[in-house]
Amino acid sequence: MIRAAVIGLGVAVVVLGAAIGLRAERLLGPSAPTIDLVATVPGDAPLGTCERAWHARLRAYEIKMRVLDATDETTTVGIAVRGAAPRDAAGLADALVRPGSLGFHWVDSDAAVARDWFQRLDPARGPARADGVAAATDAWSDDRGAAREEVYLTGPTPAAITAALAEVAPDAPVPSGRALVFERLGPRPDAPAAPAYRSYLVEAAPILTQADVAGARVAANQFDGRPEVELTWSDHAGTVFGDQTAARVGAKLAIVIDGEVASAPVVRGAIRGGRAVISMGGGDPIARAGEAFALARSLDGGGKLVPPGVTARVVGVRAGDASSPWLVRGGLAALAGFVAAAAAAAWRARRR
Least confident range of 4-13, 247-256, 309-318: 4-13
In a domain, residue 264? The reply is: no
Q: For position 120, what pLDDT does the model report?
A: 92
Mean pLDDT of the chain: 85
pLDDT tops 60 at residue 54 = yes
34-42 sheet: strands from edge to edge: 62-70, 74-82, 34-42, 311-318
User: Given 151, 175, 203, which residue is the final one in a domain?
Assistant: 203
In a shared domain, residues 199 and 111? yes
Distance CA 227, CA 79 (A): 27
Say whether 176 sits in a helix, a strand or coil: coil
Residues 41 and 18 in one domain: no
In the predicted model, is pLDDT for residue 246 greater than 70? yes
137 plus 168 within the same structural domain = yes
Q: What is the mean pLDDT of residues 76-86?
A: 96
Question: Is pLDDT larger for residue 307 or for residue 319?
Answer: 307
- Confirm whether 328 is domain-assigned: yes
- How far apart CA 76 and CA 70 sit, in angstroms, is 6
For residue 222, tell me if it sits in a domain. no
| 118-128 mean pLDDT | 87
170 Cβ partners below 8 Å, 6+ apart? none
Backbone Cα Rg of the chain: 30
Look at residue 41 and tell me if it is in a domain: yes
d(CA 166, CA 133): 12
Close Cβ partners of 286 (under 8 Å, ≥ 6 residues apart): none
Which of residues 350 and 184 earns the better pLDDT score? 184
The residue range of the domain holding 174 is 107-203
Judging by DSSP bridges, how do beta strands 34-42 and 227-233 pair with one another?
Answer: unpaired
CB atoms within 10 A of CB 213: 21
Boundary of a domain, candidates 203, 235, 253: 203
pLDDT at 321: 57
Q: Order of strands, edge to edge, in the sheet holding 253-257? A: 134-141, 147-155, 197-203, 178-184, 260-263, 253-257, 102-106, 208-209
If one counts every other C-beta atom within 10 angstroms of the C-beta of residue 316, the result is 11
More confident residue, 99 or 226: 99
Residue 300 lies in a domain: no
Percentage of the residues of the chain whose pLDDT score is greater than 90: 68
Range of 3-12, 50-59, 215-224, 285-294 with top mean pLDDT? 50-59
CA end-to-end distance (rounded Å), the chain: 16
252 DSSP 8-state letter: B
What count of other Cβ atoms lies within 10 Å of the Cβ of residue 32? Answer: 17
* Domain co-membership, 136 together with 75: no
State pTM to two decimals: 0.80
How far apart CA 297 and CA 92 sit, in angstroms, is 8
Is 232 exposed, middle or buried, given 0-12, 13-18 or 19+ CB atoms closer than 10 A? middle
In a domain, 166, yes or no: yes
Q: How far apart are CA 109 and CA 162, in angstroms?
A: 18
Read off the pLDDT of residues 145-165 as tens digits, 9 standing for 90 and up: 889 999 999 999 999 999 999
Q: In this model, does residue 15 exceed pLDDT 90?
A: no
Does the residue 125 lie in any domain?
A: yes
Contact 307, 50 (CB under 8 A): yes
Ordered alpha helix ranges (H), the chain:
2-28, 47-57, 89-97, 112-121, 158-168, 235-247, 285-299, 323-351
Rounded (5°) CA angle 169-171-175: 95
List, in order, residues 6 or more apart from 223 with CB less than 8 Å away.
Answer: none
Question: Number of C-alpha atoms within 13 angstroms, CB side, residue 43?
Answer: 6
Mean pLDDT across 188-206: 81
More confident residue, 143 or 193: 143
Could you tell me the pLDDT band of residue 6, with boundaries at 50, 70 and 90? very low
- What is the predicted pLDDT for the residue at 334? 53
The answer on 199 and 149 residing in a single domain is: yes
Among the ranges 125-139, 227-241, 321-335, which has the highest mean pLDDT value?
227-241
pLDDT in tens, 22-43: 454 455 455 689 999 999 999 9
Residue 281 pLDDT: 76
Task: Say which residue, 17 or 226, is predicted with more confidence.
Answer: 226
Residues 6+ apart with CB under 8 A from 169: 116, 117, 120
* Average of per-residue pLDDT across 308-312: 97
Residue 326 scores a pLDDT above 50: no
